Structure 1
Amino acid sequence: MAHGRGGLEPGCMIHSDRGSEYTSTQFRERIRELGFRQSCGRTRSCFDNTAAESFWALFEEEIGTRSWLDRATARAEVFNFIETFYNRRRLHEHKTFGYLTPAETRQRHQHAFAA
């Protein structure tokens, strides 16, 4: 999804923790096919992955540990959280980011490189 929706180009760094989904052969092959580089945080070091840790903390706070009736409903609610709140309404609460949403920050970044 990051490639298809985010407009990532070859050479981009994909950073994650060492979860099995990110270290799987299938994922690593796809990263190579797209021309991306992979980076993983150190084992037992949350400081290597602070952005992801921050996301999951907010996700857990907002979504909680609720149960859904089916997978489709769960996927829809998680998608809604990420796309409507996390990327479009949540503000980077720091003046360095200009108090912009992640979507606004990305748009500003893309325009800066296009100029």
Structure 2
Amino acid sequence: MPSANKLSTPVAVDEELIEGRYAELDGYTVGFESFPQDVDPGPFFAGLPDDRCQCPHWGVVTSGQITFRYADHEETYVAGDAYYAPPGHLPLIAGGTSVTEFSPTAELNATMEVVGANMAAAAGAPA
């Protein structure tokens, strides 16, 4: 049976706003993500349907707080909470938050292609 551990999963993303470690487990990706400061990544989802994340996620907040914003409501989770975020959400993350999250790999990759392009464009934008 495949497994992943935060300590043995290499860092794949090391940015000012996020450190992410990702391992594929038979069609799903487990992500160990840490956010050192408050972050509203909503603008990075521009270009996806409704400009919102279209990938479902199942996860556990290991520290801090994450809020998922939907068109008609918000759901907030804190350390110790397990969650399901269906397609159509935008995350809002408090500094000091860490999550362990499971996502279907194909949907995650399609989403991250758009997010990554938006992050690169923002990094190259004049201040």
Is the TM-score greater than 0.5?
no
Which protein is richer in strand relative to its size? 2
Please tell me the TM-score bracket, short chain as reference. Answer: under 0.3
Return the TM-score normalized by structure 1.
0.28
Which one has the largest radius of gyration? Answer: 1
Which protein is richer in helix relative to its size? 1
Return the TM-score normalized by structure 2.
0.26
